[in-house]
Amino acid sequence: MITLQSQIDKASRTIDTDSYPISIGELINMYQEDEIDVHPEFQRAFRWEIEQKSALIESVLLGIPIPPIFVFTRDDGVWDVIDGQQLLSTIFQFVGIYKDSKRELLPAIKLTKTKFLSLLENIVWENEEESVYQLSRAQRIMIKRAKIDVKILKATSDKDSKYDLFQRLNSGGTSLTPQEVRTCIIIMENEEFYRSLLEMSNNEDFKDCLPLTDRAVDEQENIEFVVRFIVSRHGDIKDMEQSLHDYLTESIVKIIRDDEFSMDEEKKIFNALFNYLNQNTVEDTFKRYNTNKESFQGPPTISAFEAIIPFISSNLDKYSQITGDEFKQKLISMHQNDIYKDAYRRRSTDRYKTLLKIGEEIFGENANKES
């Protein structure tokens, strides 16, 4: 008989952790020796303003407790920062040692005044010119001796526990979107894979067919559509449980780890697909169809994307023989389908499965030329 305690015992054995305080000075040394990876690629997701950065330094100077950081010990011994990237990058940039994703040194930051320390305005860590407003040697030593509690997930832990912990720490109650969290997980798993997603999201045909607002791009909706493209073609909906976003994350990680998956081949299909769509329906492809006005209107929708993409991308040879007008009629028939219209009101997992079924009927290999 399975009991709650037996489940706790089994799950606990997959996670090997440790915890101890480390001085900021030691963390600075580790960063300079490339022994800790704070993932500068994450900076797009973690948006601290100078006021937040200054408040952190103020907290250290005043001895106010700051949150712990969470790290994962990689096989090469390097600490992968799971939570605390912005905290550490702020300290490293203030000290003047922080490098961006291209390994280029970023300018050291100047602080601004804070709640308790108005004289932090324009202060820097250190400067050879005495006229520059800077911390004293004693104050720099004070900061380097301050300690941060480090929660360590050891390499002997189950590999997926790193991503589960990252999601738990950065989902709900934060300003991150599900895709921003997912992007960070993708980077931790395979940075080159992430760069391929970014390259695909910059495809001009793709951008013409999916005209997104600047805010949507800033929140990485463009990358989410590329992830959905790949998962819709290679994911297994039998693995889907309660959360569509969890399914997308778990599926893309499995795909990254799949030695049989070819990103080069995927890019070719992606480019060919959106070239076809751009030549025929352009930005109408994923918009809702207004029957009364007999036109496609509004912003692109995820529902249309989910129903269309996996089946057209798998049957490009067939669709290259179909005229733009014929393809547009297929789109209209999808939007007029009662089950498709009802899918909008369903929870995300049910909607996704329903849209895949409708998409296969209208756009799949065995669909009639006229739907």
Question: What digits encode the pLDDT tens for the residues 175-196?
Answer: 678 888 888 889 888 889 999 9
Q: Which residues contact 95 (CB under 8 A, 6 or more apart)?
A: 28, 108, 125
Q: Which residues contact 187 (CB under 8 A, 6 or more apart)?
A: 39, 41, 42, 194
Element of type H or E holding 126: none
Question: What digits encode the pLDDT tens for the residues 162-179?
Answer: 777 777 776 654 567 888
Structure-block tokens of residue 253: 């990680």
Q: Which of 129-138, 194-203, 214-223, 237-246 has the lowest mean pLDDT?
A: 237-246
Q: Which residue has the tokens 């049957």?
A: 315
Residue 370 pLDDT: 45
Question: What digits encode the pLDDT tens for the residues 214-237?
Answer: 989 888 899 999 999 999 999 998
Kindly provide the b/e burial profile for residues 88-113, where b requires at least 16 CB atoms within 10 angstroms of the residue's own CB: bbbbbbbbeebeeeeeeeeebbbbbe
Residue 219 pLDDT: 85
pTM: 0.76
| CA–CA distance, 339 with 336 (Å, rounded to integer) | 9
Element of type H or E holding 58: helix 50-62
